[in-house]
Structure 1
């Protein structure tokens, strides 16, 4: 473990205090888990505190922890993972926050802190159904306007719920229930006696 990572972890502990549920240094990276109630406040501190100075948000994504670790996960189902960069100190940070409720996952929007969070938060909303409180334009960004559901959730059906096709009589695209039968394909292994051996 490098001295720089130890220094970053110490700075985080000093600045965030009880706002941080945990600070972990592993595999050359620092990860901090933030309480959802203080997520926005912590983000402002991460950006404005001179000893941290994370000027840039370089990535944000949603995560569905259902069935994580083969069902042994005991925490909240939906999380948001953010990657920050400090150009001034030349270090990176992973920030993780969990939505308080699984049925209605909500966390604070970071768009007022880092404008680059805008499209990332829209993507997490679209694909996982995570709502970002305070986001001024939270709407779908990847799926179609009439799409129902959130396709990256682990309980979303692999074949989807609807399919679209062009209807020549109506001269437009129409949606209809999926006509593909759900099935599981198990590959068959065929071995020849002489395969790979001498003849």
Structure 2
């Protein structure tokens, strides 16, 4: 029978294992989050996988984050981060690890596919949607958008209508790309403020 590990003991084990490789280890809402620098990212992941008291054998998820509009634009840190969720089956504990790309113009972090090969498609997705480059990934190409797509659609500054659209051209007998023909417009949601709205409705 596996006994549940408390968040506090998980945090303490992670702090002891990572030492100065961790920039910060937080415990909030029962969840442990580790923040590491880009230089220490791969090594910190190896320690979390193999370290005594850690044993995070499984990568559950990896995703990109764009912090450019975080806290209504008041955030002034680095823009792009990669966040991964790890699971230790043997010790019944979880941890989140976050690394920020040091360059906002060209966000690059190491690939952790040598540590968990499950990272491969997650990193391709983050590359596709956020433009984060994973150095050392052996097959970094788009995963969800197609080859003619321009830009990275989960970036906060990406236009809602996109940059290009595709359509079938009967004269050429194939699908072509062209600039977006949709007129950009702002949509303001209607808000119902009637005092007794919804009363008596079944």
- TM-score, L = length of structure 2: 0.91
Do structure 1's residue 55 and structure 2's residue 57 form an aligned pair? yes
Contact 2:5 2:91 in 1 (8 A): no
- For the residue of structure 1 that corresponds to 2:48, the secondary structure is helix
The DSSP-based 3-state class of the residue aligned with 1:155 is coil
The 5 Å alignment of 1:35-184 reads: 35-184=37-186
CA distance in 1, matches of 2:88, 2:197: 56
The separation in 2 between residues aligned to 1:3 and 1:105, in whole angstroms, is: 35
Q: Which residue among 35, 60, 64 is the counterpart of 1:33? A: 35
Secondary structure of 2:17 counterpart: helix
User: What secondary structure sits across from 1:13 in the alignment?
Assistant: helix
| CA shift in 2, pair 1:185/1:52, >3 Å | same
- Could you list the structure 1 runs, at least 4 aligned residues long, displaced by more than 3 angstroms after superposition: 187-198
Count of equivalent residues: 197
Unaligned runs of 5+ in 1: none
SS of equivalent to 2:56: coil
TM-score by length of 1: 0.93
Q: Secondary structure at the match of 2:109?
A: strand
Q: Give CA deviations for 1:146-196 in whole Å, capped at 9, x if unaligned.
A: 211111101111100001111111111111111111101223457789866
Alignment check: 8 A CA contact 2:5 2:92 kept: no
CA distance 1:192–1:14, change in 2 (3 Å): closer
Distance across 2 between alignment mates of 1:31 and 1:114 = 19
